[in-house]
Homo-oligomer: A and B are copies of this chain.
Amino acid sequence: MYVILFYDIADRSLKEKDNSRRIRKAVEKYLPRVQYSVFEGEIRLSDLKKLKATLKKEVEQELDSIIIYEFDKPSYSRREVIGIDKNESLFS
């Protein structure tokens, strides 16, 4: 399946930054980062389940928000970035 994952992590104290880094590492294990807060790519259903389990454990329920869109296949007709494109080379 194909997934677009947006990552909206609140500002943290220094201690909590470790937690934020763990979340990021967990996502990076399975999905390529296409922007600072956006990950996107093919993922096996079993891996998606593992990733979600990790995220549910690590997120601060009152602070963070991760939104995952699941598609049967990549289906967008266009992807446009306005401002910084942190991964231009991937998409040019």
Expressed in whole angstroms, the minimum distance between the Cβ of A34 and any Cβ of chain B is 8
Which of A37, A60, A83, A84 has the largest count of B CB atoms less than 10 A from its CB?
Answer: A83
How far, in whole Å, are A66 and B8 apart by their CA atoms in the complex? 13
User: Which B residues are in CB contact (< 8 Å) with A67?
Assistant: 34-35, 38, 79-82
Could you say which of B65, B71, B85 contacts A77, with CB atoms under 8 Å apart? B71
Q: Is A4 an interface residue (CB 8 A)?
A: yes
Q: 6 A-B residue contacts at CB 8 Å? A: A1-B77, A37-B37, A62-B84, A64-B84, A65-B86, A70-B80
List A residues at the B interface (Cβ < 8 Å).
1, 4, 6, 8, 34-38, 52, 55-56, 59-72, 75-86
